[in-house]
Amino acid sequence: MHENAATRGVAVAGLLALAACAGTSPAVTPAEPTAATGLTTTLSTRAPFRPEVPSRIEVVLPPIPAIAVPDLSALTATGGVVAERLGARVSSTSGVEVVTATCGAGDGDLLYHGSTGTDLFAIEKDGSGVYVDRGDAGLVTLRVDESGGGEFYHDGADGLTTILARADGSGEYFRQEPAGTVSITTAGDGSGEYYDDRHGAVTTIARSADGSGRYYRRTAEELLTIDAAADGTAEYYREPATGPVVTLRIDADGGWVLTTASSEQLVEVTVTDDGSGRYRRTGLTTVDIVFGIDGRSPDGAVEVVVPETPRFDVSGAFPSLGRLGSLQPPCATVVRFDAQLLFAFGASTLRTDDPATAATLDEVVPVLNDTGRPIRIVGHTDAVGDEAANDELSLARAEAVATALAARGLVVPLEVAGMGERQPVSPNQTPDGADDPAGRARNRRVEIVIPEPDTVP
């Protein structure tokens, strides 16, 4: 969508703002006496009716949303064996995540079959196997093959989640909850389909591998559809509950056609690739104006103002679903804090002005004490700045978290370390070498590492 058009808003009279001038008044002819009779006869003659023609017509485009792939972070929610259990006890706070760190079997001979409470494991040395949990969180099953693909199923009090992941990155995600249903299908090449009928609205998004896309959204207020091709052509349709129906078509040469249709009138604006075109309004009255590249009618009496060719964006791609991963027993659970949650930029003193910081640390302490295991608190930075300074900052931040946890009653043994920039979880740069602020932000973190007890083959 062209930015200038987007900021104009929706004009009155079906997206067309008209600056009108005065019309033509009826004429009256004075009476004249006739020679034959001497009588005076009054003759009244009306001029032909002419519709009111505006001197200026401004064409305003409707707001055109981009066909954007929504947040699909749920695709990676495979329900880690330990992370699922620990994560349920830590509030869902922005800037905190719980992940499971898996360790290789070393000589490749690790086999694990057994149970721990409500958990059942059947794990083979190639990482394939089955995990089942029938605990308070509902039924969880995870079946993984040697390629890392597999199936995940979780039927809990808050809804049903299923994931089907294939080795090539394609797969399916389905989530059913009280508010409605979300389903995602991805082919692994950027194409895919998204469906969401939560909260009384139905939204579907489809993206092809060539970059084209389709968008559909129906609410109580309107129906909106967009069909955008890879060559830049597109069609837009909006049908509100009240008001005119709007259609917009973009041709391959840059020309476009906008129509607004209501019970009172039909307005059609056709614009060619050079900016000239035609404005036509039909209904109770008809206005038909051809305008040149300067926006003027041939007689110069009317100016038609049109925006530049509108633009339809198909942004983003459906991510590869990725593998569910190996079912090798996890060697550690990691509680990962975004440094921004705990510290001001470049600082190692815990925030005291944000209640979320204290609340998050308050919740973590009893979880750590319940495990009864020694922990390791590790600070990390991004790759910007001096390496020695980053080592120092990461260690200072880890020590600040350790002090705060001890003040809250942490009783398990702990070790503190600062890794600086040496263990990133995201690239600090994009593939073309440019700075990646989002990746650097993920690398600025403090982690609490909780080792798993030794497993017995």
Residues 46-104: tens digit of each pLDDT: 444 445 677 899 998 888 887 777 665 544 443 343 344 344 444 445 567 766 565 54
What is the pLDDT at residue 72?
Answer: 59
What is the pLDDT confidence band of residue 237, given thresholds at 50, 70 and 90? very high
Mean pLDDT of the chain: 76
What is the pLDDT at residue 314?
Answer: 84
Among residues 78, 18, 77, 73, the alpha carbon closest in space to that of 51 is found at 18
What is the pLDDT at residue 115?
Answer: 38
What is the pLDDT confidence band of residue 118, given thresholds at 50, 70 and 90? low
CA-to-CA distance for 437 and 351, rounded, in angstroms? 22
What is the pLDDT at residue 1?
Answer: 37
Give the C-alpha distances (Å, rounded to integers) separating 292 from 2, 55, 276, 420, 446.
Answer: 21, 15, 4, 64, 64
Assess whether pLDDT exceeds 60 at residue 112: no
Q: Would the pTM count as exceeding 0.85?
A: no
Of residues 165 and 324, more confidence is placed in 165
CA 43 to chain centre: 72
pLDDT digits (tens, 9 = 90+) for 91-104: 445 567 766 565 54
Q: What is the mean pLDDT of residues 155-161?
A: 88
CA-to-CA distance for 196 and 74, rounded, in angstroms? 13
